[in-house]
Amino acid sequence: MRSKGRSASYAVAASGQWTDEEEGRRRLPAGEVHAWERGRNETVCGLSLSRSRLIRFAGVTWTDTFPESGGAADRVQRQCPRCASVAGRRGSDARPAWHRTNPRP
């Protein structure tokens, strides 16, 4: 179990890959991407990496898959919404964090 003080840094697992020739033949994620914690055999949303045939990208962070990051998002088609709710999401389509405005007494 994670302690409250430690922030998680998530890597990426994806359904596909492509090679960027401009960055020295670096493997990058393509298709649907999921957040993944290093050392685990499943994504944040609970998919098994091997059974789902997802490819691990330990050198690519979750924030690099956002289109506005300019990182590894060139061929990302979809981010898993369940992973995004845990790992964080940004951009114009992101919903604000849930907040109770009038709690019950």
What pLDDT, on a 0 to 100 scale, did the predictor assign at position 102? 78
pLDDT by residue (tens digit) across 8-25?
689 999 999 998 888 778
β-pairing, 11-20 vs 76-79, is: unpaired
Segments in the chain forming alpha helices (H): 81-87
Q: What is the pTM of this model?
A: 0.75
Asked if residues 90 and 79 have their Cβ atoms less than 8 Å apart, the reply is: no
State the DSSP code for 62.
Answer: G
Place of tokens 């088609």: 77
What pLDDT, on a 0 to 100 scale, did the predictor assign at position 51? 93
